[in-house]
Structure 1
Amino acid sequence: MFGAFDFAGVTQTLPTTTFETELTRRVGDKTVKIMHVGPAHTPGDTLVHVPEDKVVFTGGILFIEGHPIMWEGPVSNWVDACNRIMAMDVETVVPGHGPITDKKGVAAVRDYLLYIEKEARKRFDAGLSAFDAAADINLSDYDSWGDRERIVINAATLYKEFTGDKTPNDAVGLFGQMAALAKRQGRL
């Protein structure tokens, strides 16, 4: 996944239709509503709602049974996206990561985001580093979720949000910190 890719023979095809906030299309006899809700997980976070089927495809907005990874933020966009899904007339929620869910899964992700924001803020205000905050936040309510070391990136992104720092995260350094935290917690 991190190795070099051979793009020989691949022709880049740029989109012919773009949108800023929302786009509605008809696909056969169905309405498809495409909504930009990012940046949150990434800059281009998008929901795709098919009202006739009461289904929404969430892309990276939802990580079910796994800790989300907040590369971009702000967290408020992510929470707003979850609330937007909760307000939809949907029965089936197809996440970008993890198994198909319903609104309970959406609420769990939203509640996690609100919890880590609150907990990171306490530690930020107390003067802890982002890494120390990540190590200190109690995630026992999320023990069944995979990839708990992602709290390192989430805390780092939240700390940047708290200070207004717009520089991109140091992905390599943060992956090293995730490994260090997993090792410290006996999971590596």
Structure 2
Amino acid sequence: MKRASNLDASGVPIFLPTVEIRIDTEGVAAVTIDEEPFELSTRLRRGGVRSLVQDLADRYGPIRVVIVEADGETYVDIETPREDTANPLPRPRGESASQRTKGPFQPDEDVLVAVVVDRRTSGPNGSVALRVPPVITQRYGGAVYLLGRTSHAVVPLTEAEGVDR
């Protein structure tokens, strides 16, 4: 994976690497990462896919996972690293893991750090239709917010009506 070009100045992925796993009729899996073959030391079977996906997320950071069954049925999800992962995303040279910012915040103010996973345009009545990857709501729960770029409205995902979670 070309990780250096995948990071912005703060070390956040600009796009998610895609891990595609194709499972044949015998349950054997072939893996590619960003369309390049990923060599495994042993033959991967369907039962080992979950473990491999989690290991890849721990190693590379958030990844988009596409699983294609022999009959063509396709599953797509986002996998994020475990909280306790020992391998954080690589940072650009000279940047520390912790940075202090200057800003307009009040002393002791609660400041959110949001990760954008999708972008939508609201309809004529101001509503928005979206589907949030289950891994996001499982991992972050009530800490996911919808932010209006023009209105500056901030709505917790848990209070948004009609959102698939």
Tell whether the structures are fold-level matches, with TM greater than 0.5: no
Normalising by the residue count of structure 1, what TM-score does the alignment of the two structures yield? 0.26
TM-score, structure 2 normalization:
0.28
